[in-house]
Amino acid sequence: MTVSYEALDYRFTVRAPAGVAMAEVHELLAGFAVDADLAGLDEVELADPRFAPAAASALVGTINLRAIGCAAGSLLLHAGGAARDDGRVTILVGSSGSGKSTLTTELVLRGRHYLTDETLCLAADSLRITPFRKPVSLKPGSYPLFPQLRPSQGSLGALDSDRQWLVSPKSLEGGVADVPSLFVPGLLIFPTFEEGADTRAERLSPGQAAYQLGVNTSSLTSVSGRPLAVLASLARRVPAFRLIHNDLAAAADLIAELEQEAG
Amino acid sequence: MNSFPRVFADTQWTEIDGEVLILAGGRLFHLDSNGAEIWALVDGYSTVDQISEMLRTRYGDAAAADVRTLVSTLTDAGALTAEPESMCRIARYVAWTVDESRLVVLIDMRHGRRQVLSASASAVWLAIGAGTPAQKLAEQVSRHFAPVPPDLPEIIADLVQDLRVRGLLEPYAR
């Protein structure tokens, strides 16, 4: 049986080499799975892990690139996203190393719905968010924080563990029911990890937030309509904070407080 | 710094609650409220020195230095161009014509107000409409004066300023 996947508007199947169980591929890509049989699917190939230790990372990277390529016109932020039950999304915007995957993981483990840990896709006109539920990429610095998420030895998610763990969204959410049907921006967080710093949040003006959104956008000029107006609209509507963090639990507690204040 | 900086036609920018976001040459710039004040003065009609002086009067020497730095940075990035002559144009929401007495009759479409310019103001208006740079306006319209008043450039500058304040003229590329 062929399993269909959808990542943003990119629809695909996966071809795996002999010796790799499709069930294992499906476990890793569960966040992209769709029930329906889709037509016109692209095919992505998983390299043989015996000869390509980074095969799973390469597979996920290929899917990311093609999905982003299919989402031209949308606002694509370098961001993680975790939603509350009412569909309002806390958006964690930042470059690699800022802690967005770590914070997203912690928020989801605390009961939020996982949307993405890397690329957040917003419609340029309505700002509605389309989930991009790729496997979470946890870097070695986060391993001690989430020992329970360690992929089992020899699994696809553990193949590249010198560089990252790939964690299936299913492992984080534990079968969350009642997934919201509509996701909208609720809070903008720009995290910065600072060794030894007191965890704190600083309110950003809409102009500062729009600028930070812009520099963390993939191909700003390909956003439909007037890209700066889209950034301004998002920054005006949603409260934005710079989050300086050093302690994961304290940062997640602070985000929860900010979510409450944002309403 | 006697050039007249103005916003390059391809520059995208937007105002956000008193601050400004600019996209030029693939780079993004954020101006806080101080920078936004300078941005509003970069209108193709004032020189860098004049803008600096305006800010120095309001906020002191440091603000004047900020003008030069900001204009230089944004010019290097391609967001601004430095024109050798100042330029402004008739605002897009102004409809106008010339009556049988060669006087300019205009309507400000924002509120439908109609007005008739004097003969000398009409001459200046027509010169601006023909794309004459500010520095050459006096030369262009002097033939309408007999005798030519010695302070004609100042009279024209005051007139242009008045038209700009009333929104009947606007900077280029805005």
Q: Output the 3-class SS for chain A.
A: CCCCEEECCEEEEEECCCCCCHHHHHHHCHHHECCCCCCCCEEEECCCCCCCCCHHHHHHHHHHHHHHHCCCCCEEEEEEEEECCCCEEEEEECCCCCCHHHHHHHHHHCCCEEEECCEEEECCCCCCEECCCCCEEECHHHHHHCHHHCCCCCCHHHCCCCCCEEECHHHHHCCCCCCCCCCEEEEEEEEEECCCCCCEEEECCHHHHHHHHHHCECCHHHCCCCHHHHHHHHHHHCCEEEEEECCHHHHHHHHHHHHHHHC
Query: In terms of pLDDT, which residue wins out, B105 or A177?
Result: B105
- Rounded CA separation A251/A243 (Å): 8
> In this complex, is the C-beta atom of B18 within 8 Å of any C-beta atom belonging to chain A?
yes
**Residue to test with chain A: of B20, B29, B30, B37, most A Cβ within 10 A:** B30
Cβ-Cβ contacts under 8 Å, B39 against chain A: none
Has residue B174 got a pLDDT over 50?
A: no
> Which of B19, B23, B31 shows the shortest C-beta gap to A227?
B23
Calculate what percentage of chain B has a pLDDT beyond 70: 97
Beta-strand relationship, B12-16 and B19-24:
antiparallel
User: So what's the pLDDT on residue B172?
Assistant: 63
Residue A213's closest chain B neighbor by CA? B28
| Average predicted confidence (pLDDT) for chain B | 87
Q: What is the ipTM of this complex?
A: 0.84
For residue B42, the distance in angstroms to the closest alpha carbon of chain A comes to 19
For residue A238, the distance in angstroms to the closest alpha carbon of chain B comes to 13
Chain A residues in contact with chain B using a Cβ-Cβ cutoff of 8 Å: 205-208, 210-211, 214-215, 220-221, 226-229, 231-232, 235-236
For residue B20, the distance in angstroms to the closest alpha carbon of chain A comes to 7
User: So what's the pLDDT on residue A96?
Assistant: 84
Predicted model pTM: 0.82
- Rounded CA separation A250/A42 (Å): 43
Cβ-Cβ contacts under 8 Å, B17 against chain A: 205-207, 236
Of A55-64, B69-78, B140-149, minimum mean pLDDT range? B140-149
Q: At residue A95, what is the residue type?
A: S
> Which of B13, B16, B28 shows the shortest C-beta gap to A236?
B16
User: So what's the pLDDT on residue A219?
Assistant: 84
**pLDDT, mean of each 10-residue run, chain A (263 residues):** 85 90 90 79 90 90 93 95 96 91 96 95 96 95 95 89 92 76 96 93 97 94 91 97 96 97 89
For residue A253, the distance in angstroms to the closest alpha carbon of chain B comes to 30
Count, residues in chain B: 174
> Which of B12, B17, B26 shows the shortest C-beta gap to A207?
B17
Q: Please compute the mean of the pLDDT values over residues B119-131 and round it to a whole number.
A: 88
For residue B73, the distance in angstroms to the closest alpha carbon of chain A comes to 17
> In this complex, is the C-beta atom of B27 within 8 Å of any C-beta atom belonging to chain A?
no
For residue A38, the distance in angstroms to the closest alpha carbon of chain B comes to 38
Residue A206 to residue B13, Cβ atoms within 8 A: no
Q: Please compute the mean of the pLDDT values over residues B23-44 and round it to a whole number.
A: 91
Q: Please compute the mean of the pLDDT values over residues B71-99 and round it to a whole number.
A: 88
Residue B30 to residue A235, Cβ atoms within 8 A: no
Residue A236 to residue B18, Cβ atoms within 8 A: no
Where does the pLDDT of residue B173 fall: very low under 50, low under 70, confident under 90, or very high at 90 and above? low
